[in-house]
Amino acid sequence: MSQSLWLFGTRLNILADHTTTGGQYDLIEGYFPPGTQTPPHRHTRYSEQLYVLEGEFTVWAGEEKLVLNVGESFLISPSTPHVVAVPGDRPARGLVVAAPSGFARLIAAVGTLDEKEMPNMELFESISTAIGDEVLGAPGELPMYNV
């Protein structure tokens, strides 16, 4: 099972979800163009493990700021406010393991086939709430303690 969709300028490939893992985890491969940055957010019901396959990610999580390179990973515990960014002029590619499963449900429901198409924001907010995700700021912002 593999499903490739765009969500806010990032291509996300669902490699495994609740249907293949019994709800234990989701495995997502993500391609992040240069300059991509998530808004500050947190997942209250699942952890997020990021593993770098190509390029470089900067992660602000809790009170930490980390730069992750190829072969490095970082675990973001549930309820930790965080931002993931791809600085500079090179794209990055990584694997995300969300455990237990939940994140793939959001991608499958609101992701688009066209990278320029915006997702249905009403549906995005509804499913985010259902899976325990909270957006804490606008894209481009950093968590308050990092400002």
pLDDT of the residue at 138: 82
In order of start, what are the domains of the chain with their CATH numbers? 3-146 (2.60.120.10)
pLDDT digits (tens, 9 = 90+) for 46-99: 999 999 999 999 999 988 999 999 999 999 999 999 999 998 899 999 999 999
pLDDT digits (tens, 9 = 90+) for 7-48: 988 999 999 999 999 999 999 999 999 999 998 999 999 999
Angle (CA) 105 84 143, round 5° = 105
pLDDT of 103 strictly over 50:
yes
Least confident of 5-19, 98-112, 132-146: 132-146
Measure Cα distances from 113 to 12, 22, 25, 105, 138 in Å. Answer: 10, 26, 24, 16, 24
Say which residues have a Cβ less than 8 Å from residue 147's Cβ, sequence separation at least 6.
none
Is 16 buried (19+), middle (13-18) or exposed (0-12) by CB count in 10 A? middle
**How many Å from the N-terminal Cα to the C-terminal Cα in the chain?**
41
pLDDT of the residue at 116: 87
pLDDT of 126 strictly over 80:
yes
Query: In whole angstroms, how large is the CA radius of gyration of the chain?
Result: 14
Cis, bond preceding 100 (omega within 30 deg of 0) = yes
pLDDT of 145 strictly over 80:
no
